[in-house]
Structure formats: structure tokens, C-alpha cells
Amino acid sequence: MGHLEILGGPALSGTVRVGGAKNAALPIMAAALLAPQPVELRGVPRLGDVDTLSRLLESLGVRVSRQDDRARLETVDPTPVKADYELVRRMRASFCVLGPLLARRGSAVVALPGGCAIGDRPVDLHLSGLRALGAELTTEHGYVVARAPRLVGATMDLTGPRGPSVTATANVMSAAVLAEGLTTVAGAAVEPEVVDLGRFLVALGAKIEGLGTPTLRIHGPATLGGAAHAIIPDRIEAATLLLAAAITGGDVRVEGVRPEHLGKVLAVLKAIGRRVETGSNWARVRGGDRPKAIDVTARPYPGVPSDLQAQWMAVLSLADGRGVVRDMVFPGRFMHVAELKRLGARIEVVNGAAHVTGVERLGGADVAATDLRAGAALALAGLAAHGRTNVFGLEHLDRGYERLDEKLAALGARVRRVPLA
């Protein structure tokens, strides 16, 4: 995999286009298991995670053909029901096959996703939601073993200890499409990626009301067919690129994004002193003064996403003053703090909050990504640091960002991918 070598300094400028949303493409590809006819997707990003899920779906009897940002998925063998540990362990989102597999094939054996660098990743809400629909689920030897000769619509509340669950909502909504009768889900996630999945299910023939609100009503069983669907743009990639402009004092216009999906991120960019302009499918950030220090708390949508918390911490590392960063979704998501400190950031984690005291300058160093968003944060810090920064752990970055180094270089960054010696 190698590493990224970044020579910090240049203020980024120019226009860049974002790709399709990873966290919409993954649950939508998993939900293709429900479709008795072929599914045609556009805007599928070329990412490691998409490759992994494609392999998992192939092992489950779905032929996946990809060409550029298009994917065609067709079930050719509806008998396999086991999602193997070897594939699921690589990517937690693989767990999204549980609901569709169970609903369409009547049983499923899916490896429990492991923990990861951002903290504990329980699946209790997934299991309780599917049980409410009448599924029998046990956990045996690291697998969820599920049976559901028939699913029956139910009323449930999926609210978790830290708010809604994105992929639990995805699993339960997908399964409820084939349940007999009305399913009402309170505490549903409202992230744009969940709405996009819901729209895909409706395109297949499902009847879903309340998409984008915390209460979903799913009328089943639906008679499903095939569908053609365009994946929404990746709001996390778009915001990461806007933050690359903010941290280097540049002027960048990101195209193909839906500004309304950026939620509070644009307000926070203005709060640190950046000029923000938006159009129907673009957003532009400019302004070169030193960022103002503010507090940033990651929350469920439409709050600042947890997937941007590390990137915001990188920006605040250079701010004029002190800012406190909290993550209400993954409270322990601070593995990037130690790496940012190697670049000279002044950050202390006290009682689950990261206190960032902005410094005048960061200095280049060797750093390692612990998860894909931490990798992005370290790349951003390297863009502004004086000297050379080597970001190791590219396998994380490539899981969730399509050619990030090339997009940054096209905006004037001095970054190159150094292959493993």
C-alpha cells in the first residue's frame, strides 16, 4: 500500500468533483439481495469497501458487474445464506446484508463485525429490530444465526444509548419491506444515506413513508422488481475537501455535492472565519486568515458528522485560541489525537473531550492512519504543516476515499503516493 508523502504549504485552489456516497452505496448494494430482477446503480465509488462488499455479495450468489461508477447486481443463485467472517471482518458495513438476506431467503448466518479503532461497535439494535419482526436470532461462535420463515410487521423504537443507528435502521427497514403488514420504526436514523437507501427500496417497489424523519412506516409485503438508481454524492468526502481548503487558507469549489446534506458543517466553516458560498450542486470555501477557535461536537444528522470530527480537530489544531471537540456518536473516537500531536498539535483529552490549543504552525512528521477518517485528518494537517509529512496506513484511506491524493494534487497540493518499497 505504501504511504502518502505531503510537502505542506500551498493554499489549495480550484474545482473538484465528489463521487458517490460510500455509506449509501454499501447498504444499497446489500439491499440488492431483496431484488428478484437486476439492479443498475450509478455513482458507485471505486473504493476498497465497495470491492469487499462486492466479493461478499458474489459469495452470496449475486453477480456484481462494475464499470467506472456503475454497478449491475443480479441474483443468480438464491441459496447461499452465510456471510463469511473472512469478508465481514474487513468491513463492518458487511453486516448490512443481514436484514435483506433474512427477509428474502428466510435465514442468514452473518459474522459479527469486529470492533475497530473508533470504539465499540455493538449490534444489539439490529438484532432487537429484526426480532421485533419475528426473526429468531442467536449468536454462536462469532456469528449471528438468524431464521425467519415469515416476517410480520411490528412497531418498534430503534433509539440507542447515543441516538439513532444508521445501519440498524438500514437492516430493519430493508427487512420490513417484505414483512406482512405495517412496520412502524421510531428512533430511525435520518442521515441522507438512509434516505437514499429508502428511495432505492421504493424504486424496487417498497412502500415507505417518513423517510428523513425519525419515524418510518413500511407497508409490506411489497412485490419487488428491479431498479435503476443513482447514489447520492458523498457529503463526507465533500466536507473533507472543503476542510482541506479551510486548513490551507485556500479557495476551493466542490461540485456534485448537495449543500443541504452538509448540515451544520457550512455554519461551522463560517464560524471559524471562512467565506462560504453554495449553489444547487456545489459549495465553495475561501479565506486565508488563521481559523478562529470554536468548540465542535459531533452528533447524528444534521449535526456535524462523527466522520468529520477528526478532520475538524486538524483544522482547530492551527486555530487562534482553544476549542473543545466532543463526539456524541463515538465518544472514544480520538485515536487521531496522538498522531496529530506528532505534527505539533497541542491536544489533551480530558473526560472524553479533546481540548485543542491552536498553534501557529505544525511541523511535518511520519504519522499513521488508524481509521479512514483519521487518515483524512492527518492528510489535511500535512497539507498545512511545514516540511514533509508521511501518512502511513493508506489501506484505511483507500477504503473510503477515491483517489484523495489525486484530487488534492489537482487542487495544488504537493502530495504523492509512495509505493511500498
List contacts with ligand EPZ (CB under 6 A).
22-23, 26, 92-93, 118, 120-126, 160-162, 165-168, 305-307, 329-330, 372-373, 400
- CB nearer to ligand EPZ: pick between 241 and 319: 241
Q: What is the nearest approach in angstroms of ligand EPZ to the Cβ of residue 41?
A: 16
Rounded to whole angstroms, the Cα distance separating 394 from 380 reads 14
Distance of CA 12 to the CA centre of its chain: 24
List strands edge to edge, sheet with 143-147: 82-83, 107-111, 143-147, 136-140
d(CA 267, CA 284): 13
User: Which residue, 168 or 335, is less far from ligand EPZ as judged by CB?
Assistant: 168
Q: Which residues contact 240 (CB under 8 A, 6 or more apart)?
A: 308, 311, 376, 380, 401, 404
Active site residue 116: yes
Q: Please say which residue, 364 or 400, places its beta carbon nearer to ligand EPZ.
A: 400
Query: What's 113-158 look like in SS3?
Result: CCCECCECCCCHHHHHHHHHCCCEEEEECCEEEEECCCCECCEEEC
Give the SS3 label for residue 353. strand
Q: Which amino acid is at 83?
A: A
SS3 330: coil
- Of 172, 220, 180, 225, the C-alpha closest to 197 is 172
Q: Which residues contact 395 (CB under 8 A, 6 or more apart)?
A: 1, 48
Residue 234: CB minimum distance to ligand EPZ, A: 9
Cβ proximity of 8 and 344 under 8 Å: no
What is the closest distance, in whole angstroms, from the C-beta atom of residue 150 to ligand EPZ in the complex? 24
The residue among 259 and 305 lying less far from ligand EPZ, judged by its C-beta, is 305
Q: Measured between alpha carbons, how far is 312 from 376 in angstroms, rounded to an integer?
A: 10
- Around 391, how many Cα atoms within 13 Å sit in the side-chain half-sphere? 32
Contact of 270 with 246, CB cutoff 8 Å: no
Nearer to ligand EPZ, 331 or 387 (CB): 331
Specify the residue, 28 or 294, whose C-beta has the smaller distance to ligand EPZ: 28
> Could you say which of 40, 46, 61, 116 is catalytic?
116
Residue 22 or 258 having the CB closest to ligand EPZ? 22
Amino acid at 293: A
Give the active site residues.
116
